[in-house]
Amino acid sequence: MAATDPFTPEIAYVETSRVACDGATQTSPALGHPRVYLQIDEKGYVDCGYCDKRFILKGGIADTAPDERTDPGAGENSDGSLPSRPGV
Ligand SMILES: [Zn+2]
């Protein structure tokens, strides 16, 4: 819901490990930088050095790695209560 948040780096999912970035985005097409070619490494993603846009390889490590924040069974108490009064 915060796609236009300037503090949120743009993320693009790509199907090849070789990507090009020229800084043009849907939100700011006038902004840009010289086109550069980036190589996604073994981490499964690469960040553009100019505009910090992140390219994530589909099906790669960065795409398929489990995200604890979205794990429904993270082990927290479902009612959010904290253990207190251990002597009870
Ligand atoms: Zn870029």
pLDDT tens digits along 2-17: 455 555 678 999 999 9
In this structure, what CATH number is given to the domain that contains residue 26?
2.60.260.40
Distance in Å, CA 4 to ligand 1 centroid: 16
pLDDT greater than 80 at residue 25 = no
Q: Is the Cβ–Cβ distance between 46 and 38 less than 8 Å?
A: yes
Q: Is the Cβ–Cβ distance between 13 and 19 less than 8 Å?
A: no
Number of domains in the chain: 1
- Residue 20 inside a domain? The answer is yes
Top mean pLDDT of 54-58, 65-69, 70-74 is at 54-58
Range of the domain at 29: 11-65
* Residue indicated by tokens 């981490």: 43
- Residue 42 inside a domain? The answer is yes
- Residue 61 inside a domain? The answer is yes
Distance in Å, CA 81 to ligand 1 centroid: 45
DSSP structural state of residue 67: -
- Residue 59 inside a domain? The answer is yes
pTM, full prediction: 0.61
- Residue 88 inside a domain? The answer is no
Q: How many CB atoms lie within 10 A of CB 86?
A: 5
Helix (H, G, I), strand (E, B) or coil at 77: coil
Q: Tell how far CA 33 is from the center of its chain.
A: 21
- Residue 78 inside a domain? The answer is no
Distance in Å, CA 25 to ligand 1 centroid: 9
